[in-house]
């Protein structure tokens, strides 16, 4: 990352040819750099133009006009980063965009690193760390639910909820210290019972927020889902059906799928990180490549969080079907049996599927809408809380948020247990302080540089 005194610049739109490209520049001195290359058609200096208004003019370097552009200046602190910021909209050709950026860099700006604009917004108090994480998730969103989860309303709700917990803990700490430090002042009684009641209330608030993680994670990070079955059961057909495209080769030849195919796709509220595996069977006719594929399939099953086991019910239940059941029996992941080719005559013994959480009849080739809707409903029921309204309720969705809030809850529980066995309030204050430290890490008030760097490294350049 650049020194905070440096002016940084980067292209903020995706690379490639387009109608318009946006170049962003931020830092003390950004307006002066812009004055040296951008000349408004009005004849005024850019730094003297009205803020937050697009100004038409030319990018000129060494007397040569590079492009006609629209530029906007955002004086600190009323900008995204909290610093003096310039946004230049130029024509979206690859060469012209790079030429305009290089003109700014030659005048003293430094190339921005990944996520540096948002990182400066965080450092300058424009965003909390949870809000910054939500912006990162929004940039990577692949479903409407992910957009709702990362939107302004959801970010604000989570930030306010975290701040509420922190303020409650700080209020308790202040009451404890005031009575310890000023015993002769008439500050009123703050009994152990009142302190215990307050801690229980904060504990319940933390637990309610923690309970949203299962839903938030299923939407944001997704569920590791494995499609398994014997060869030609319809695994790749189902994979293609869920993706809405022909991503996997489908033939009548056993062993067509040799490697694990992976893709992320939304199914209702949940994001599924799907792996289509090679058909599991035992046969002397398998070649070396297929044997490796079968081994990988078994490994993926062991790591899965959700299993779709597909069975061809137009054929009798056989040893290979039993192999599938045996392979998944030891996993704790929810198991859904998909009885494929239900449009054909059934010759399958369904009594063998008693160990499955759900059994759904489907014709993967025909793509039955009702069966897919049933599958969607079952998966959503397994991994989300239907009472949670995405975009309106405070939801935690990252492992960092979950771990930090869990640590806060542990300290609160330790304070409660100390009070209940008779420790004095000043002895309990240490655990309350540690709880405040944990909740402060959650919104970035107190967090290590390593964590901050890791979060912003996931951003794209220009954001």
Q: How far apart are CA 284 and CA 289, in angstroms?
A: 13
In this prediction, residue 280 carries a pLDDT of 67
76/193: higher pLDDT = 76
CATH code: domain of residue 337: 3.40.50.300
At 166, is the secondary structure helix, strand, or coil?
A: helix
How much is the average pLDDT of 15-36?
93
The distance between the two most distant Cα atoms of the chain, rounded to a whole number of Å, is 89
In this prediction, residue 287 carries a pLDDT of 55
CATH code: domain of residue 157: 1.20.120.430
In this prediction, residue 154 carries a pLDDT of 86
Q: How far apart are CA 212 and CA 209, in angstroms?
A: 6
Q: Are 268 and 376 in contact (CB under 8 A)?
A: yes
Q: How far apart are CA 450 and CA 459, in angstroms?
A: 15
How much is the average pLDDT of 179-205?
74
Looking at the fold, whether 104 and 146 belong to one and the same domain comes out as: no
291/106: higher pLDDT = 106
- Number of residues assigned to the chain: 463
Top mean pLDDT of 128-132, 139-143, 392-396, 450-454 is at 392-396
pLDDT band at 291 (very low <50, low <70, confident <90, very high): low
Q: Are 401 and 213 in contact (CB under 8 A)?
A: yes
Tell me the backbone φ, ψ of residue 404, rounded to 5 degrees. -70, -45
pLDDT of 261 over the 80 cut: no
CATH code: domain of residue 73: 3.30.1360.120
Total structural domains in the chain? Answer: 3
463 falls within a domain: no
Q: What is the 3-state secondary structure (H, E, C) of 347-360?
A: CCCHHHHCCCCEEE
For 424, the token pair is 């004095």
How much is the average pLDDT of 227-248?
75
Structural domain containing residue 438: 142-212+394-443
Tokens 């992976």 appear where?
A: 262
In this prediction, residue 340 carries a pLDDT of 84
24 falls within a domain: yes
In this prediction, residue 133 carries a pLDDT of 82
In this prediction, residue 171 carries a pLDDT of 87
Looking at the fold, whether 185 and 64 belong to one and the same domain comes out as: no
3 falls within a domain: no
pLDDT of 456 over the 50 cut: yes
Domain boundary among 95, 128, 161: 128
How much is the average pLDDT of 300-317?
87
What percentage of residues in the chain have a pLDDT greater than 70? Answer: 87
In this prediction, residue 256 carries a pLDDT of 44
Dihedral sign for Cα atoms in the order 276, 279, 285, 288: positive
In this prediction, residue 248 carries a pLDDT of 41
462 falls within a domain: no
Looking at the fold, whether 190 and 167 belong to one and the same domain comes out as: yes
Looking at the fold, whether 229 and 341 belong to one and the same domain comes out as: yes
Q: How far apart are CA 455 and CA 132, in angstroms?
A: 8
Looking at the fold, whether 258 and 376 belong to one and the same domain comes out as: yes
pLDDT of 250 over the 50 cut: no
Looking at the fold, whether 269 and 315 belong to one and the same domain comes out as: yes
In this prediction, residue 372 carries a pLDDT of 81
pLDDT band at 47 (very low <50, low <70, confident <90, very high): very high
Which residue from 407, 402, 391, 398 is spatially nearest to 217, judged by alpha carbons? 398
Tell me the backbone φ, ψ of residue 56, rounded to 5 degrees. -85, 140
The 10s digit of each residue's pLDDT in 61-117 is 999 999 999 999 999 999 999 999 999 999 999 999 999 999 999 999 999 998 899
353 falls within a domain: yes
Tokens 């007397």 appear where?
A: 63
Which residue from 145, 301, 325 is spatially nearest to 227, judged by alpha carbons? 301
Q: Are 178 and 428 in contact (CB under 8 A)?
A: no
pLDDT of 315 over the 90 cut: no
Would strands 64-74 and 306-312 be described as parallel, antiparallel, or unpaired?
unpaired
At 85, is the secondary structure helix, strand, or coil?
A: strand
Looking at the fold, whether 245 and 368 belong to one and the same domain comes out as: yes
Domain boundary among 128, 155, 184: 128
pLDDT of 60 over the 90 cut: yes
In this prediction, residue 246 carries a pLDDT of 53
Find the helix or strand (DSSP H, E) in which 225 lies: strand 223-228
pLDDT band at 289 (very low <50, low <70, confident <90, very high): low
pLDDT of 150 over the 80 cut: yes
320 falls within a domain: yes
Q: Are 57 and 69 in contact (CB under 8 A)?
A: yes
Range scoring the smallest mean pLDDT among 110-124, 401-415, 448-462: 448-462
Looking at the fold, whether 260 and 290 belong to one and the same domain comes out as: yes
Other CB atoms closer than 10 Å to residue 344's CB: what's the count?
13
Domain boundary among 71, 104, 128: 128
459 falls within a domain: no
Looking at the fold, whether 345 and 236 belong to one and the same domain comes out as: yes
461 falls within a domain: no
How much is the average pLDDT of 295-310?
84
Beta-carbon contacts of 50 under 8 Å, excluding residues fewer than 6 positions away, are none
pLDDT of 129 over the 90 cut: no
Predicted model pTM: 0.76
Q: What is the 3-state secondary structure (H, E, C) of 289-349?
A: HHHHHHHHHHHHHHHCCEEEEEEECCCCCCHHHHHHHHHHCCCCCCEEEEEECCCCCCCCC
Looking at the fold, whether 231 and 288 belong to one and the same domain comes out as: yes
In this prediction, residue 71 carries a pLDDT of 96
How much is the average pLDDT of 196-222?
94
In this prediction, residue 188 carries a pLDDT of 54
Range scoring the smallest mean pLDDT among 112-121, 178-187, 222-231, 387-396: 178-187
Quickly list H helices, 92-139: 94-106, 116-123, 129-139
Average of per-residue pLDDT values in the chain:
84
Looking at the fold, whether 149 and 107 belong to one and the same domain comes out as: no
Looking at the fold, whether 245 and 297 belong to one and the same domain comes out as: yes
């Amino acid at each position: 990352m650049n020194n905070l005194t440096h002016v940084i610049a980067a292209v903020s739109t995706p690379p490639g040819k387009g109608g318009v490209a946006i170049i962003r520049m931020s830092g003390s001195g950004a307006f002066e750099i812009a004055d040296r290359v951008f000349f408004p058609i009005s004849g005024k200096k850019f730094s003297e133009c009205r803020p937050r208004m697009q100004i038409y003019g030319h990018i000129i370097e060494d007397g040569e006009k590079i492009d006609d552009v629209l530029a906007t200046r955002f004086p600190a602190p009323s900008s995204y980063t909290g610093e003096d910021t310039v946004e230049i909209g130029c024509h979206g050709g690859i060469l012209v965009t790079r030429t305009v950026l290089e003109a700014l860099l030659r005048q003293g700006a430094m190339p921005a690193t990944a996520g540096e604009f948002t990182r400066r917004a965080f450092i300058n108090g424009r965003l909390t760390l949870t809000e910054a994480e939500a912006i990162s998730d929004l940039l990577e969103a692949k479903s409407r639910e992910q957009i709702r989860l990362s939107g302004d309303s959801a970010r604000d709700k989570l930030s306010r909820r975290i701040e509420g917990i922190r303020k409650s803990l700080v209020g308790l700490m202040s009451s404890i210290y005031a009575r310890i430090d000023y015993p002769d002042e008439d500050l009123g009684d703050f009994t152990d019972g009142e302190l215990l009641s307050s801690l229980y209330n904060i504990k319940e608030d933390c637990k309610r927020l923690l309970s949203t993680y299962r839903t938030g994670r299923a939407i944001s990070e997704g569920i590791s889902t494995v499609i398994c079955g014997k060869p030609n059961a319809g695994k790749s057909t189902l994979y293609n059906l869920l993706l809405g495209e022909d991503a996997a080769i489908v033939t009548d030849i056993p062993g067509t799928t040799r490697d694990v195919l992976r893709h992320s796709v939304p199914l209702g509220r949940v994001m599924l990180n799907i792996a289509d595996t090679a058909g599991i069977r035992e046969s002397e006719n398998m070649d070396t490549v297929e044997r490796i594929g079968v081994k990988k399939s078994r490994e993926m099953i062991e790591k899965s969080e959700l299993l779709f086991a597909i069975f061809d019910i137009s054929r009798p239940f056989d040893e290979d079907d039993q192999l599938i059941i045996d392979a998944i029996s030891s996993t704790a992941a929810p198991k859904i049996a998909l009885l494929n080719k239900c449009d054909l005559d059934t010759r399958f013994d369904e009594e063998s599927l008693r160990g499955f959480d759900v059994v759904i009849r489907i014709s993967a080739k025909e793509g039955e809408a009702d069966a897919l809707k049933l599958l969607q409903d079952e998966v959503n029921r397994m991994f989300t809380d239907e009472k949670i309204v995405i975009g309106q309720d405070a939801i935690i969705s990252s492992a960092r948020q979950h771990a930090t809030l869990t640590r806060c809850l542990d300290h609160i529980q330790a304070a409660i247990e100390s009070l209940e066995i008779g420790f004095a309030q000043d002895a309990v204050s240490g655990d309350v302080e540690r709880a405040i430290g944990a909740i402060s890490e959650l919104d970035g008030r107190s967090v290590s540089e390593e964590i901050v760097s890791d979060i912003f490294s996931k951003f794209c350049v220009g954001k």
